[in-house]
Amino acid sequence: MSNLHQQLSSLLDSADIRLTDQQKQQLVGYVDMLHKWNKAYNLTSVRQPEQMLVRHIMDSIVVNPHLTGNRFIDVGTGPGLPGVPLAIVRPDAHFVLLDSLGKRIRFLKQVQHELGLTNIEPVQCRAEEYQGERFDGVISRAFASLDDMLKWCRHLSAEENGRFFALKGSVPHEELTRLPEGISLVNVEKLSVPQLDEQRHLVVLKVN
């Protein structure tokens, strides 16, 4: 565990991100749980904890400075990405973690319990069937296309100042030319993830 702490601290320094010791402890604890549960539950294709720090933790929290609002829903969260790392680094915000698979929600409830995360709410449900409040931010990391995200999640966004935050690899130029009526592009942020030699972008959309 101490090696992971050292690696995380180094990665955070590279990204110029400042966190408390408790936040670092929670992030490493989450990686440790992900690694243990992965053997039985197959939650992620990333097998090594050291790679999880780069591909899951840092890949998630570099988005934090670009988020606006206090109430977010992470749709298709899987094992809690990017929602859990973001909830750890943004303790004053609330995150609903939405996934349709029971084993992932069971894992997230255990994460919530073991790490003492009072600002996450794991919910087993398909995005298009979720009913309830609207959110300042609708976050997705694994949706196939912006079209699908908007089709299934449009009802989740607050009508005033609501935003869609789509984590992408390369800029989805073609998808951006096909945005549905009533949706406009706010901006595309280029993200830099230490030790990750792949493109990362954040596409921010809003309801007009």
Binding-site residue set for S-adenosyl-L-methionine: 76, 81, 127-128, 141
Which token pair is 164?
A: 């869609």
CB 68, CB 161: distance < 8 Å: yes
Distance from C-alpha of 141 to C-alpha of 130, rounded to nearest angstrom = 18
Pairing of strands 183-190, 137-140: unpaired
Distance from C-alpha of 44 to C-alpha of 13, rounded to nearest angstrom = 26
Strands (E), the chain: 71-75, 94-99, 120-124, 137-140, 163-168, 183-190, 201-207
Distance from C-alpha of 42 to C-alpha of 174, rounded to nearest angstrom = 33
Q: Which residues make up each annotated binding site?
A: 76, 81, 127-128, 141
Which token pair is 106?
A: 């069971």
